[in-house]
Amino acid sequence: MKKIGFIGTGIMGKPMAMNLQKAGYDLLFSEQYKPAPKELLGENGTAYATNKEVAEAAEVIIIMVPDTPQVESALFGQNGVFSGLREGHVVIDMSSISPIATKEFAAKINQRGAEYLDAPVSGGEVGAKAATLTIMVGGSQDAFNTAKPLFETLGKNITLVGGNGDGQTCKVANQIIVALNIEAVSEALLFASKAGADPAKVREALLGGFASSKILEVHGERMVKGTFDPGFRISLHQKDLNLALSGARQLQVALPNTATAQELFNSCAALNGSDWDHSAMIKALEHMSNYSIRD
């Protein structure tokens, strides 16, 4: 398995593709979705005109795009991956999308004699560059075994959660936890700063205790410094929480704090911050409090 189709080379997809190339895989990129950056093309990277041509030439096709409609288009749109599939192919969707739609996509792919894995990731741009992503996989054991060497090139914590859709369900759960952690760190640093303490020193102290977390470590630093260039855009986290809240309605479960986190992201969007990093949730709380921890 040396030829890998790769569709989607954005903030996450580009470093993931680079890590696969460093591991010796030949990547085939589609110009139909978005032309690949020049640094990915050359000895280990070839551009094809359509998703169909990529599927015809590759053995495994990885998709890493923003949302459910983009995955559906890449798979089943004009000259889509589906039209180039043959028996034995493995399609791996590493985007974060609807678990319900994922099950529908998988059923269509399976009818073609190909395997389908939903394998969303966590770890952000930092994890994508460092190849330390957490990968949550839904699909068959056989397909997982085939794809595992690729996953091991991209991440460290790799789990076959269950059948198709379960990987995406796990990612939605992950995004609930991340959003609520960002909210907790935001509130804590805002409280500490308004009370007169240095938020940078408070963060440093908390990193040594039970309140320590990856969010406090990475995003707490972003909050203190005000560096909100996107590693993971607020608009994408809003999309993920929409999946959580719509799923909660269908399942008739209460997610009150998830709803609050979504409202804070909505406030950021109202401040023209849809493209801020999701750690910028603190700016919504600062706006509501008429106070900034960086002033």
Q: In terms of Cα–Cα distance, which of 144, 83, 42, 86 is closest to 29?
A: 42
State how far the Cα of 27 lies from the Cα of 18, in Å rounded to an integer.
Answer: 9
Measured in degrees and rounded to the nearest 5, phi and psi for residue 40 equal -90, -10
Does residue 38 carry a catalytic annotation? no
Residue position matching structure tokens 């707490």: 220
Q: Which of 171, 201, 225, 283 is catalytic?
A: 171
State how far the Cα of 173 lies from the Cα of 108, in Å rounded to an integer.
Answer: 26
Question: Which stretches of the chain are DSSP H helices?
Answer: 13-22, 51-57, 68-76, 99-111, 124-130, 141-154, 166-194, 199-206, 214, 220-225, 234-251, 256-270, 281-289
Check residue 294 and report its DSSP letter. T
Q: In terms of Cα–Cα distance, which of 231, 110, 126, 237 is closest to 165?
A: 110
Count how many Cα atoms sit within 13 Å of the Cα of residue 295 in the half-sphere of its side chain.
8
State how far the Cα of 89 lies from the Cα of 28, in Å rounded to an integer.
Answer: 15
Q: How far is CA 30 from the centre of its chain?
A: 20
State how far the Cα of 189 lies from the Cα of 187, in Å rounded to an integer.
Answer: 6
Q: In terms of Cα–Cα distance, which of 211, 215, 121 is closest to 161?
A: 121
Q: Which residues are catalytic?
A: 171
